[in-house]
Amino acid sequence: MNLKEYRVVFAATALVLILLGASPLLNAFLSFPNKATPFSELYVLGQNRIMSEYPVEVTNDTDYRVILGIGNHMHESSYYSVDVKFRNQTQSSPDSSNSTPSSLPPLYEYRAFVGDEQSWETTLVFKLQNITYEGNSTLVGNLSINGQTFTVNTPAAWSSQAGDSYYQLFFELWLYNATSNRFEYNDRAVWIWLNFVP
Amino acid sequence: MLLGVLLIIAFGTSFFTMHFADAQTYPTKSKFGYANDVVEQAFNAVLDAEKAGANVTDLLAQLNDAAGILAQAENIYRTGDYNTAVAQADSVLNASNSIGNQAQALQLATQAQKDETVNLSIIISAASVIVVIIASFLAWRFFKRSYYKRALQMKPEVVSDES
């Protein structure tokens, strides 16, 4: 190697050492944002955390338990609200193609603050009460959720094909938007079908 | 002067009447709205603290307690027990205000710590860079000198021409 080539080696080594020396400062100012798409999860499980243990066949005035959970992958702490609603086969349901929630009013509500990459879970206990039959239809008078009783008076037609009357207990996820200062529907809904056999 | 006094009295009367009317007309709904606002402001403060780099796990746990009570108040309100609902919503206010204040204090402390770290980084980086530049310069000079010395000490050798 001649002197010119040695100079290049010296300069390159010095440059690397300068970058190493400046690394504490670079570390303080450089940040690499998480490029993964932020999203939230909403899930419902049977009481032993098994999907096959969903209450499906339900009877009058009996307690049923499900586990409701939220997972936060929004890259920051988030404030969630979960609306619990009850409908029959014909009433409004959440529409994932239009990202709209059901137009039914919530019966019950959960609020949760969840840290990034954390989850939140709760056990929901519900029972259907004051169920009456009239002709080919069933009428659920009350729905009790976690010990609070709500009047629903929801009829359901008896399905001749299935031989049952179907209802749906469903959950909608709403996410607080800190910019607009309001909850916005997060296009996440989960449900369990409740089959009432007379 | 008299006109001014009359204007002040008229304005003051309408102001107090307006607030009194608000409290009378919307005693329950306004409490919920206010409680929600306070919880949301506390969350915004926690979010700011988190963005500043603070660990907000404890504050989130406290907020969760407050939000649970607030949601419970809304659920009770739906069953028609307005007095209990309002009492529950009221109980959230102090806790949420305290969380908001804690979050702001945490944000300031984290920011101060961050500034201190940045200042220290500037000093360490500047010192390191200066040391590297001076050391490189001296090393180059030493190397160049020894290179020339070696070159000058080289003796020409006669190589036999075998061709």
What are the average pLDDT values for consecutive 10-residue runs of chain B, which has 163 residues? Answer: 49 40 50 88 92 92 92 90 88 87 90 88 88 90 89 77 62
CB–CB of A19/A11 below 8 Å?
no
Alpha carbon of residue A100 to chain centroid: 15
User: How far does the CA of residue B5 sit from the closest CA of chain A (Å)?
Assistant: 41
CA angle A132, A135, A136 (to 5 degrees): 95
Nearest residue to B39 via CA among B47, B51, B29, B49: B47
> pLDDT tens across A93-132, in order?
999 899 999 999 999 999 999 999 999 999 999 999 999 8
The complex's ipTM works out to 0.80
Predicted pLDDT at A160:
63
Residue pair A41/A70 in contact (Cβ under 8 Å)? The answer is yes
Residues of B in contact with A33 (CB under 8 A): none
Residue B1: helix, strand or coil by DSSP?
Answer: coil
Domain residue ranges of chain B, discontinuous segments joined by +: 2-114
pLDDT at B7: 47
Question: How far lies A27's CA from each of A31, A93, B45, B123, B159, in Å?
Answer: 8, 49, 26, 14, 59
Range list of β-strands (E), chain A? 39-46, 57-58, 64-73, 78-88, 108-114, 119-134, 137-145, 148-157, 165-177, 182-196
- Whether A112 and B136 lie within 8 Å, measured CB to CB: no
- What distance in Å separates the CA atoms of residue A151 and residue A108, rounded to the nearest whole number? 12
pTM of the full structure: 0.77
Residues A177-191 pLDDT 10s: 989 989 999 999 999
Torsion of CA B135, B140, B146, B149, to 10 degrees: -140
**Residue A80 three-state SS:** strand
pLDDT tens digits for range A123-153: 999 999 999 887 778 899 999 999 999 999 9
Question: Which of A9, A77, A179 is the best residue to mutate to test the B interface, defined by the most B CB atoms within 10 Å of its own CB?
Answer: A77
Provide the 3-class DSSP secondary structure of residue A183: strand
User: What are the residues whose beta carbons fall under 8 Å from the beta carbon of A153, sequence distance 6 or more?
Assistant: A139, A140, A141
Within 30-69 of B, beta carbons closer than 8 Å to A belong to: 40, 43-44, 46-47, 50-51, 56-57, 60, 63-64, 67-68
Say which amino acid occupies B30: S
